[in-house]
Structure 1
Amino acid sequence: MDHRVVFSTLDSVCVEMISAISSQVSLLSNNATSQLLSAIGRIQEHSHAVEALVAGFTAVYHHYDFNAETPGNGYRTLVKVVLSCLLHIIQKARYIASNCGGVFFRVDHNASEMEAYCTALCQLRALLYVAQRLLNDNEHGQLYSQEEGLSEKFMKEYTSMHKACFYGRCLGFQVSNIMGSRLMVSCDGVAALSVFTSGKYVVDPELRGAEFERITQNLDMQFWKTFWNITETELISSLASITSNTVQVNLMLSVPGEPLSLPLASDPSLVVNVSPPVAHWGPGPVNVRLISHALREGQDSAELMALSRGERPPRSLSVGFRNQKSPPSPWLLIHFHGGGFVAQTSRSHESYLKTWSRDLNVPILSVDYSLAPEAPFPRALEECFYAYCWALKNCHMLGSTAERVCLAGDSAGGNLCLTVSMKAMSHGVRTPDGIMAAYPATLLTTDVSPSRLLTLIDPLLPLSVLCRCINAYTGTDSEAVQPMQQLDTLSALGRDTAVLLGDITQGASNWLQSLLNSTSVSSPPATRSANGLPDAVPRSEDMSEDTTEFPEGFEPLRSGCLVDIRTPSTPIMRNPFVSPLLAPDILLKGLPPVHLVASALDALLDDSVMFAKKLRSIGQPVTLTVVEDLPHGFLSLSQISTETQEAVDTCVGRIREVFEQDPPPKTHKPANLNQKNNTVCG
């Protein structure tokens, strides 16, 4: 959309709305009317300043795209989010101008609506100033800040900036045109957005937003682990299984941790010894899930059944089905699930994996790697690499000849797809034929980028949670976490966390019919200002130094809920097997073709853009697709809307390309990783 048209339209409708309200004499003495007119005036003030900022970004943001055919980067997204906010204001202003004289027109409600979007616009204006600083200070085409001090300043700004406005009336404004309220009840926990749909929180969105901010910003890792695993509770998983595709094979296997011998990729007459995972607690089994739409030869073998974790054999082994086995597939898909390295299992992703197995006609091996912070790096990587090697050696049991092998994963799983491939290359083992990584995390540092500024408005991926996941996986978080208990009980959680999780579970199963008590969160009500919004806190003295310098006369709203973010900068965060974006060229040149599918409304968008640029710069085959108007985690939202289904279909199409493309000539040899200046430690 043309931003100039949006700003021009906003000016026109604001003038029209003021004129319409002024013509209603009966409204002029109303306090709510004064608040409404005041909000309109402040919206006009913000929009005039924002227009100049947006014009500056639109003039240059194409320089940060992957290529001309793939428009997408954090600067573009920030502009789009701002314009989405303005379009909502325009729509509301037109309604007010047309209906303010009506007998059913509620001045107080509409004043609250405009106040809420005015507050959101103010905070977005602040983000644009921060992004402008990034644009001015970074190298041309560079999305991540190379200045450590700038990232620290952003952290300080984030901890104090008011965020509740994005969790109240304005919740999901950036995606509402596509997904609407259905986003609230998605299968991967987006139902948490309806946590406060009971009692006072239904009728008071601002209070709901303030309470949501207060609770979620500083919750411990135990909460987020349990929260993201909500789709694995008996209730939610049962509902998901009803709508998912039926498969003939769905087995959990426990692969014993024993040394493996595989052919050397450069000379199959030689072998490579692969050790089992040993980090942190020594050798142990690796749990995997085998999913196959059709029963194939080998999948009913006694050898495979011996690894089954006490489950029934495939359905097709019953009488009458023994002879209905398909031949082994020439393809094999190995999957690593997302969940921030701290949560979820293959069960959380089972629904779309069943669909993939049917659509691609391929067996899928999904790895249940150990989770942080109990199992920090490199345990998950070791287990995924071991499972990959085991699958190559034992593909006959999985119903495949493994002529073509593709790795697929989302978020943390996308990171593991890349690092497992790098580890295979460094060990001299056969690398996969291709990778499909959806919205992968390629830089596990706290460096700031324009897309990471989106963590201010994202209730499911706030910066505090992103940092906790990074700290947990890299082992820099000293927070003790108890072993996970059965997900259908809340006995392991504290009172506030347990009650909140109960609200989430209830909301996920029945969004608008929550039966929980409105006092389920034991906290005092947020204080209110005269305009009915939660009080904003002025900048305190200890925040006045080393923070972003805003133009004179402007200051973003501050929150009374300060966020505790620990951001230790440790060498392990920059280990190439933790942050593949920082891997040396010699290691990245061993990767197979990489297909990245990113989301424009994702805080990790710039991870994909910069990684794609780096691979292209060294001549590695890479594609990047940026889907519009979808949040992080869209793979688990395939049944929410046609847009999410199209995005999932894009991922399937990329995997199909890996399987159907002609194999490239094997001309390269494993790199010598002990060369000077290129030593890699995994």
Structure 2
Amino acid sequence: MDHKDVFAALQMVCSDVISALNGSRNNSSNADATDRLLGVMRQIQEHCRAVEPLITGFTAVYHHFDLDAQTPGNGYRTLVKVVHSCIIHILQKARYIASNCTGAFFRMDHNMAEMDAYCSALCQLRALLYLAQVLLNDNAHGQLYSQEEGGLSERFVREYTSILYCFTGFSPSLRPFLQTVVISMVSFGENYKKQQTGLGIAALSFFTSGKYVVDPELRGTEFERITQNLDMQFWKTFWNLTETELLSSLTRIASTVVQVNVILTIPAVSLSLPLASDPSFSVSMNPPVAHWGPGPVKVRLISHTLRQGQDSAELLALSRPEGPQLSLPGGFSRQTAPLSPCLLVHFHGGGFVAQTSKSHENYLKSWSKDLNVPILSVDYSLAPEAPFPRALEECFYAYCWALKNCHLLGSTAERVCLVGDSAGGNLCITVSMRAMSHGVRVPDGIVAAYPATLLTTDASPSRLLTLIDPLLPLSVLYKCIDAYAGMSCQSVQPAQQLDTLAALGQDTVKLLTNFAQGATNWFQTLLDPKAASSSSSTTSSNGPSTSKSHSVEKPQEVKEYPDNFEPLRSRCLVDIQTPCSPIMKNPFVSPLLAPDSLLKGLPPVHIVASALDALLDDSVMLAKKLRNMNQPVTLTVVEDLPHGFLSLFQLSKETQEASDICVKRIREVFQQEELPADQRQPGLN
């Protein structure tokens, strides 16, 4: 349905509702609610009259920001899509009210409250459109990110910290789950400061969650408190709940059964690898050393089929089995399969601060079966205790070790693919750039799902989605950037304390303190611009921080909105720390900013992004940059799914289809045409 037809239909239905309510007003037993509903319907009409020309303007030009005509997708399209979804919901509800408002069983209070919530959502989306219009007017043609130093992005941060959060537009099949996540987050946050273990808090939260299910207003108030006042440690603890044995055991029941699932500890020793340009020469690869010196790297080996080398004494000396997989469950052959010509190396997501391969093994097990290849997933050290470049060093070292020891992993490594989601997608690209800069073999391809390719605070239309995404609010995004850049690093920890799953809970507890602080603060400032917070500089063990603090004192001279409009404002004070460090522009932190000389050496890059992801524009701009350099790149934009959809792949048909797209791209890397013999880079045996 064309957007003009949708707006026309809504204006007509609103008029019908107003006429029906005016006709029944004198006979209504709840005149106050009737008057309020009349006011809401008139507000909706006013918002629609203002929003329609904005939508028309964006639809006329948003195709200029796509990768190509076959790949429609960018932040401007997404904003239009979300507004359209909101209008459709309002239209359906208004039709119901117009048909039933005079009935004896019509619940005036309930329907007024529901329509008022939709009106608030439309008001906030209208504000986002005005902000996006500023970006559209100020940015260069086809450019999605602000190129202005400071000013424009800082003005948007100021708006982020004051506009009220209201609306999400994800796939209908995922909405119940996402609502459950929000309720769980709220309940967990209520009990977070109590003296309980992580699992104890989760159990206590289960018994207190009922009130948030039946009372959406209470849920919204508590959600605002959590996202504004709790710290990073809260968020890391919450994200790592999937790492607990109870929850992982439950998910394991529904996951694909594999014959090999072991944790390996790669020792910190130097490796000798042949030069990619001339295999007769070799280069020495040192183990990771950043921040605390050489240390081992933990990885997880997953294989649906037991292959040669995977049961060798050499591998078993490095391994620790997890779960019953090594016992070769019934239905599996005990014969050892030959080495696979392919190897998949995986880097998990989690904002560089949370999770391990354990949180991602469900879809990795499924991929191992579908692709019939062994998978090596790297459990790199997490920020803020292990900021850049520790994770990159560990992932690169694990990649080099896999090339050197592919025969132990059940592969000849004739074809090697790197795959990762979110932060892991970033690491796939930067590991490949590091391989090229060190002269060793680069992988045969990269598959990056919703990768973070620009770890700066630059504004873009898709990053406006942090206002409506409960899973990735702006302050959480900024906390992740701040932690990885090393600006919140308090102390240096030995590698062995960071790399064990047993220490994960302890690591989690530490990270939650800073993380929820920003997220909580941000969502609360989404309610009232009158609250003020002063800017201050913080000091870390490494010296003064360069983060900037934004306070919600006054709109200042912001002219994003017309004189007759103001978005709903937060009731709560917020002080959001804006990361600001030269490290953020390091090409091995933000590969979108890498020079052509580094990107030219990348293998084919396949990006799978989501239309409802705040990082969508990261993917689009990287694909454009690679395409303009004549580098092989593909971009697939899936609809109606949130950031992190791979971890939800068993929950809906849409997430399963998105996972299948990733599998298809990986298979393309493994099956791409062989290079001539003199250009082939064999695995290292």
Q: TM-score, normalised by structure 1?
A: 0.87
The one-letter code of the counterpart of 1:315 is L
Does 2:153 match 1:160? Answer: no
After superposition, give the CA deviation of every residue in 1:589-620 in whole Å (9 maximum; x if it has no partner).
00000000000000000000000000001110
Query: Cα gap change, 1:192/1:665 in structure 2, threshold over 3 Å: closer, same or farther?
Result: farther
Cα deviation for residue 486 of structure 1 reads: 5.5
Matches within 5 A, 1:579-618: 579-618=590-629
1:190, 1:460 within 8 Å by CA — same for their partners in 2? no
Cα deviation for residue 448 of structure 1 reads: 0.5
Corresponding residue for residue 83 of structure 2: 82
1:300, 1:314 within 8 Å by CA — same for their partners in 2? no
The one-letter code of the counterpart of 1:107 is M
Query: Cα gap change, 1:209/1:312 in structure 2, threshold over 3 Å: closer, same or farther?
Result: closer
Query: Cα gap change, 1:596/1:312 in structure 2, threshold over 3 Å: closer, same or farther?
Result: closer
Aligned equivalents of 1:417 and 1:589: distance in 2?
Answer: 15
Query: Cα gap change, 1:539/1:468 in structure 2, threshold over 3 Å: closer, same or farther?
Result: closer
After superposition, give the CA deviation of every residue in 1:326-356 in whole Å (9 maximum; x if it has no partner).
1010000000000000000000000000000
**1:565 alignment partner, SS class:** strand
Matches within 5 A, 1:537-548: 542-548=553-559
191-200 vs 457-466, which deviates more? 191-200
Seq. identity, %: 69
Does 2:90 match 1:95? Answer: no
Question: Runs of 5+ in structure 1 lacking a partner?
Answer: 167-171, 501-520, 527-533, 671-682
Cα deviation for residue 548 of structure 1 reads: 4.5
Corresponding residue for residue 270 of structure 1: 281
Aligned equivalents of 1:125 and 1:544: distance in 2?
Answer: 17
Query: Cα gap change, 1:391/1:8 in structure 2, threshold over 3 Å: closer, same or farther?
Result: same
Does 2:406 match 1:395? Answer: yes
Aligned counterpart for 2:228 among listed residues 217, 233, 252: 217
Cα deviation for residue 563 of structure 1 reads: 2.9
Cα deviation for residue 661 of structure 1 reads: 0.7
Cα deviation for residue 140 of structure 1 reads: 0.1
Aligned equivalents of 2:663 and 2:33: distance in 1?
Answer: 52
Cα deviation for residue 206 of structure 1 reads: 2.4
Query: Cα gap change, 1:319/1:293 in structure 2, threshold over 3 Å: closer, same or farther?
Result: closer
620-629 vs 103-112, which deviates more? 103-112
Query: Cα gap change, 1:336/1:653 in structure 2, threshold over 3 Å: closer, same or farther?
Result: same
The one-letter code of the counterpart of 1:181 is P
Aligned equivalents of 1:346 and 1:372: distance in 2?
Answer: 16
The one-letter code of the counterpart of 2:448 is A
Aligned equivalents of 1:343 and 1:190: distance in 2?
Answer: 21
Matches within 5 A, 1:504-543: 542-543=553-554
Aligned equivalents of 2:60 and 2:458: distance in 1?
Answer: 25
Cα deviation for residue 26 of structure 1 reads: 2.1
Corresponding residue for residue 416 of structure 1: 427
After superposition, give the CA deviation of every residue in 1:514-567 in whole Å (9 maximum; x if it has no partner).
xxxxxxx9xxxx9xxxxxxx9856587832325343101111111122332211
Corresponding residue for residue 123 of structure 1: 124
Aligned equivalents of 1:432 and 1:55: distance in 2?
Answer: 44
Matches within 5 A, 1:561-640: 561-640=572-651
Matches within 5 A, 1:367-516: 367-478=378-489
Corresponding residue for residue 530 of structure 1: none
Cα deviation for residue 59 of structure 1 reads: 0.4
Aligned equivalents of 2:10 and 2:452: distance in 1?
Answer: 37
Aligned equivalents of 1:58 and 1:296: distance in 2?
Answer: 53
Q: TM-score, normalised by structure 2?
A: 0.87
The one-letter code of the counterpart of 2:340 is S
Aligned equivalents of 2:618 and 2:582: distance in 1?
Answer: 19
After superposition, give the CA deviation of every residue in 1:237-257 in whole Å (9 maximum; x if it has no partner).
111000000000000000001
Does 2:642 match 1:641? Answer: no
Corresponding residue for residue 8 of structure 1: 8
2:485, 2:584 within 8 Å by CA — same for their partners in 1? yes
The one-letter code of the counterpart of 1:358 is K
The one-letter code of the counterpart of 2:107 is R
Aligned counterpart for 2:185 among listed residues 183, 192, 195: 192
Corresponding residue for residue 149 of structure 1: 151
After superposition, give the CA deviation of every residue in 1:303-326 in whole Å (9 maximum; x if it has no partner).
000001376896357999895111
Aligned equivalents of 1:391 and 1:116: distance in 2?
Answer: 53
Query: Cα gap change, 1:32/1:493 in structure 2, threshold over 3 Å: closer, same or farther?
Result: farther
Aligned equivalents of 1:395 and 1:551: distance in 2?
Answer: 62
Query: Cα gap change, 1:267/1:177 in structure 2, threshold over 3 Å: closer, same or farther?
Result: same
Aligned counterpart for 2:217 among listed residues 182, 206, 213: 206
Corresponding residue for residue 511 of structure 1: none
The one-letter code of the counterpart of 2:52 is E
Cα deviation for residue 663 of structure 1 reads: 3.1
The one-letter code of the counterpart of 1:565 is I
2:421, 2:451 within 8 Å by CA — same for their partners in 1? yes
1:373, 1:481 within 8 Å by CA — same for their partners in 2? no
Aligned equivalents of 2:420 and 2:30: distance in 1?
Answer: 59
Query: Cα gap change, 1:572/1:548 in structure 2, threshold over 3 Å: closer, same or farther?
Result: farther
Corresponding residue for residue 110 of structure 1: 111
Corresponding residue for residue 306 of structure 2: 295
The one-letter code of the counterpart of 2:162 is S
Query: Cα gap change, 1:29/1:318 in structure 2, threshold over 3 Å: closer, same or farther?
Result: closer
Aligned counterpart for 1:179 among listed residues 171, 174, 179: 174
The one-letter code of the counterpart of 2:638 is V
Cα deviation for residue 207 of structure 1 reads: 2.9
Aligned equivalents of 1:453 and 1:492: distance in 2?
Answer: 28
RMSD of equivalent CA atoms:
3.0
1:385, 1:420 within 8 Å by CA — same for their partners in 2? yes
Corresponding residue for residue 358 of structure 1: 369
Question: Runs of 5+ in structure 2 lacking a partner?
Answer: 191-207, 533-551
Query: Cα gap change, 1:667/1:139 in structure 2, threshold over 3 Å: closer, same or farther?
Result: farther
After superposition, give the CA deviation of every residue in 1:42-76 in whole Å (9 maximum; x if it has no partner).
11111110111111100000000000001000000
